[in-house]
Structure 1
Amino acid sequence: MASYLVTGSSRGLGLALISRLASLPAADVGKIIATARQDNSPQLKEIVDASSGRVEIVKLDVTNKLSVQEAANLVEGKLHGKGLDYLVNNAGLMDRSPDGLAGMDNLDDIFHTNVTSVHNVTQAFLPLLRKGKKKIVINISTTLGSFAKAEIYRQSPTPAYKITKAALNMLTVQYAQQYEPDGFTFLAVTPGWLRTDLGSSRADLPVETGAEKVVDILQQTGPHQNGKFVNIHVPGWENPLGNNQYDGQEVGW
């Protein structure tokens, strides 16, 4: 029974990931730690109440190093001496700047949440991951952070989001390179354009589909994908009209 921890679990993709994990057999998915800045999400509490103790909420503000360390200490106790198998760094922010770089006045805040906080969370949970059997860390990224696809997304008014997700991809590679000898797998995953508060109702896919496909990647990945940037696979979306494809392949950096 593998253990999982997901940041940003109170809504959107994070909430859907917790719901998906909780729906899988206990023989495959054991303890599920749902972390969020606020621990009062009604939807998350419903999942917890129906989980027979498999899902637990831990308060965690990824932007606050003291909160991160306190959460790591709490999770260590909840695992009862066992390690953490999977860490999903999902918490993140998106900007909207119709004026482009001229209107980008929040780069520091978004960089701190999307990059520095991922580093701080990963660093804090490394001791528990070392004790885990899987040692897998998934960083939720986006094709908007791809240099190779920059021209495709030229018109998207989210410069800070693009910049910080590109930096997150490099952070993923740095961790992958350093911790590969210790048996870790670090992977950047784009979950698709999802119908969430962040993605909007105009997005391509239901959030449940994105969560299902991310969990598929989680459970199928291993050292052979260390340091990769991969797309989800949604049948029928391999070559659609428009900017977005979900073909399960590596994404160009």
Structure 2
Amino acid sequence: MASYLVTGASRGLGLELVTQLAAKPVTEVRIVFAAARSSNPQKLEELAAASNGRVQLVRLDVGVKESAQEAANEVEKKLQGEGLDYLINNAGVMDYHPNGLEGMDTLDEVFHTNVTAVHYVTQAFLPLLRKGKKIVINISTTLGAFSKVHIYQPMPSPAYTVTKAALNMLGLQYAYKYKDEGFTFLAISPGWLRTDLGSQYADLPVEVGAEKTLDIIQRAGPEVNGKFWNIQVDGWEEPRGQNKNQYDGKEVAW
């Protein structure tokens, strides 16, 4: 009967993660906090209304430190003395610069959302996580892996790539800092998904990415603290598709 909080829950992967978590039996998932910055889409509103209280909507602007703390205070009240088991830092943005590095002018903005905001949220929820299962998931991407820079260098999203690499290091810093307390910090690449961020040309339906991401999350424990993991999708064990992606279910080399 675990509790979850998902940031960026109003659309894309975040919305699908909340949807699939809410569909699991109450013996596995007790409550899901769906955190988003602004008004919620009709699907999320309907999901919450039909959940018998299992899906709780939380207003959270991840880029504002005070908003992160206010959200943590709200969740603490709703948990009524219990801890938060899973924090899924999913909220993020992607830039588009056809000229690559020469045209990149959004690095500060993208860094704040993809890295600094994750730090704000994680800081704010640490006290609640200490009372729960102590598992923090950072949604990352293989675009942020140094080992794959030769593959993804032509991608027109340099700020996204740079900031996801920084996010991986942030998670690793947390992993080492809090390992003696029993925390698990894990980065997961959910694949290139057909969302507003990923586009209709992406490799996988968002439903598949969310399902495979949750498969990893629900098995996560201290033995994978500080790791960077790829989802596993049948037929994608070897690189394929226009960007030579692969989803082999293995640890990603930094």
Shorter-chain TM-score category? Answer: over 0.9
Q: After superposition, what is the alpha-carbon deviation per residue over 1:141-171, rounded to whole angstroms, capped at 9, x for unaligned?
A: 0010011000001210100000000000000
SS in 2 for 1:88: strand
Q: Residue by residue, what CA displacement relative to the aligned partner does 1:48-68 show, whole Å, maximum 9, x if unpaired?
A: 112111000000000111111
Q: Does residue 231 of the first structure (1) align with residue 230 of the second (2)?
A: yes
CA deviation digits over 1:6-59, x for unaligned, max 9?
A: 000000000000001001000110010000001332111111112111000000
Query: What's the Cα RMSD here?
Result: 0.8
Q: Which runs of 5+ in 2 are unaligned?
A: none
Alignment pair present for 1:161 and 2:160: yes
Aligned residues: percent identity? Answer: 67
2:68 corresponds to: 68
- For 2:3, give the aligned amino acid: S
State the distance in 2 between where 1:93 and 1:167 align: 14
Separation in 2 of the partners of 1:189 and 1:210?
11
Amino acid at match of 2:160: Y
Cα offsets for 1:172-194 (capped at 9, x unmatched):
10000000000000000000000
Match runs of 1:71-86 below 5 Å: 71-86=71-86
Report deviation, 1:102: 1.4
Moved over 4 A (4+): none
AA aligned opposite 1:153: Y
Q: Distance in 1 between matches of 2:174 and 2:12?
A: 26
Equivalent residue for 2:21? 21
CA distance in 2, matches of 1:39, 1:32: 18
Partner of 1:152: 151
How many residue pairs get matched? 252
Q: Distance in 1 between matches of 2:127 and 2:94?
A: 30
Amino acid at match of 2:209: G
- Name the CA distance, whole Å, in 1 between partners of 2:131 and 2:252: 31
Q: Where does residue 104 of structure 1 map in the other structure?
A: 104
Q: Is the 8 A contact 2:100 2:154 kept in 1?
A: no
1:108 match: secondary structure: helix
- Structure-1-length-normalised TM-score: 0.98
Q: Does the 8 Å contact 1:140/1:190 carry over to 2?
A: yes
Task: Indicate the residue corresponding to 1:116 in structure 2.
Answer: 116
Match of 1:186 in 2: 185
**What residue ranges of structure 1 are gaps of 5+ in the alignment?**
none
**1:181-234 deviations in Å (ceiling 9; x for gaps):** 000000000000000000000000000111111111110010110000000011
User: How far apart are the structure 2 equivalents of 1:25 and 1:218?
Assistant: 16
Q: Does 1:126 align with 2:123?
A: no
CA distance in 2, matches of 1:43, 1:36: 13
